[in-house]
Structure 1
Amino acid sequence: MADKDTPQEVADKFLAKLKDSPFIMIGLEDGQHSEPMNVKTDDDQPNTLFIFSGKDNRIAAGGEAMAQFVGKGHDFFACLMGTVSEETDMATFDKLWDNRVDAWFPNGKADARLNRFDISSAELWETDVSISGRLKMLFGGTIKGEESSSHAVVDSVA
């Protein structure tokens, strides 16, 4: 790649990749393991991911958290830091509720909690290795910086 993407371009690609494969590993910074969760985004609330969970789910306690994302084609990676809290706005709850969410809750909305993950910082990697870089990976050789990927450290993914 001759030109590297700007941090905002990398952030925009992250959001597109997340919409294509809306799954993250997320855990509170409390010593427990992370777990896979399905996320929702709301264009009206940038830098926030929404996660429906059971009321007794380990992230439901809220607090500082870290999440990881891997794109469908293993061509994009993200590490996100932020805070998990309960989303109390029922309009947002209803806006994000759909059949895919409903399938996880036998008693419907009564069993669910909507968590918000407010992202405070993110590190994003796009592994778009050039053709010459891919050949070097196959046959040996050192990949030069201009043949590798885009990387961004951002305070905002919106």
Structure 2
Amino acid sequence: MNAYSAIEKDPRSALSEQMEDLRAGMLGLEGSAEHMQPMTHFPDWAANEIWFLTSKDTDMVRGLAPGQPAKYVLMGTKQDFHASLRGTLTERMNRDMLEKIWSPVAAAWFHGGKDDPSLTMLCLRLESGQVWGSTDSTLRFGFEIARANMDEDRLPDIGTQAVLTF
């Protein structure tokens, strides 16, 4: 199912499925002069949280105030899905979650393993989000563009969006 249809059917499930297929998105602190940073996500949908593994030495961790507003942005691999998620970000070690998400990839970044002194976890407690999906059909895209160019009162219908509250 393409992103357009998936969002029309169930936006939250569409987000969850897209995140399973994506390795990373961009995480940033609201009100910060720092750029957003690529981060691998580990969602816990039952708790409406997204977890991240990172180093205590990053600008993001050093500049983070407890419960600071943050955004996480994703784009699907086919470029037909986009999402912007908002919530509060907190540095918080959670050994149970760490056990669930630890992998050989994480171990490559933290040579001291799960007890590496530079390892920390960030938790984005989701509050809201918006997802967008566009058609992956070049035929439909072309048809909608042609129709809109022939009728100045018409805009192309090539996408959908939904607002999520967590």
Identify the TM-score tier after normalising by the shorter chain: 0.7 to 0.9
Q: Say if 1:130 and 1:148, in contact at 8 Å, map to a contact too.
A: no
2:84 aligned with 1:116, yes or no? no
For 2:13, the equivalent position in structure 1 comes to: 12
Give the 3 Å change call, closer, same or farther, for CA 118–145 of structure 1 in structure 2: farther
Q: What letter corresponds to residue 133 of structure 1 in structure 2?
A: R
Greater RCO structure (CA 8 Å; 6+ sep): 1
Structure 2 unmatched ranges of 5 or more = none
What TM-score results when the alignment is normalised by the length of structure 1?
Answer: 0.82
Q: Say if 2:93 and 2:120, in contact at 8 Å, map to a contact too.
A: no
State the percentage of identical aligned residues. 22
Count, aligned residues: 151
C-alpha RMSD of matched pairs (Å) = 2.6
What TM-score results when the alignment is normalised by the length of structure 2?
Answer: 0.78
CA apart distance, 1:97: 1.1
141-150 or 30-39, which moves further after superposition? 141-150
Structure 1 segments, 4+ long, off by >6 Å, are: 143-146
Structure 1 unmatched ranges of 5 or more = none
Q: Tell which structure's C-alpha radius of gyration is larger.
A: 2
Give the 3 Å change call, closer, same or farther, for CA 88–106 of structure 1 in structure 2: closer
Mapped to 2, the partners of 1:72 and 1:37 lie a distance apart of 16
2:135 aligned with 1:134, yes or no? no
58-67 or 114-123, which moves further after superposition? 58-67
